[in-house]
């Protein structure tokens, strides 16, 4: 069972699931796959990155981190993460 944090939305889980299955993506590609707005997915990706669940190896391009994978597998309580913004 996943342990979500207060700041997380359902879209965050969807983004992490997408990145886990597709390895990487841009907010536009993720938004198209999830049928959500590009702007909203961009905001959520930046938020996930600030908590270390995804990282941005280059501008606008996101990959899931080990922490993100651990969260999806129920091995990490996201409420214990701190915001690096």
Span 11-67, pLDDT tens digits: 999 999 999 999 899 999 999 999 999 999 999 999 999 999 999 999 889 999 999
Show the domain range for 58. Answer: 10-68
Query: Residue 23: what pLDDT?
Result: 87
- Distance, CA of 3 to CA of 65 (rounded, Å): 16
Domain membership flag for residue 36: yes
Domain count, the chain: 1
Domain membership flag for residue 78: no
Domain membership flag for residue 77: no
Domain membership flag for residue 85: no
CATH number at residue 63: 1.10.10.10
Q: Which H helix or E strand runs over 57?
A: strand 54-58
pLDDT confidence bin for 85, thresholds 50/70/90: low
The token pair that represents 52 in the structure block: 């270390």
Domain membership flag for residue 24: yes
- CA torsion 16-38-32-66 (nearest 10°) is -20
Domain membership flag for residue 44: yes
The set of residues, in sequence order, having a beta carbon less than 8 Å from that of 69 and lying 6+ positions away, is 20
């Amino acid at each position: 069972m996943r342990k979500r944090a207060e700041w997380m939305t359902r879209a965050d889980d969807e983004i992490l699931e997408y990145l886990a299955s597709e390895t990487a993506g841009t907010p536009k590609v993720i938004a198209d796959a999830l049928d959500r707005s590009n702007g909203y997915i961009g905001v959520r990706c930046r938020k996930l990155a600030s908590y270390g669940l995804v990282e941005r190896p280059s501008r606008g391009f996101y990959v899931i981190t080990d922490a993100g994978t651990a969260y999806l597998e129920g091995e990490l309580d996201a409420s214990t993460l701190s915001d690096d913004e």
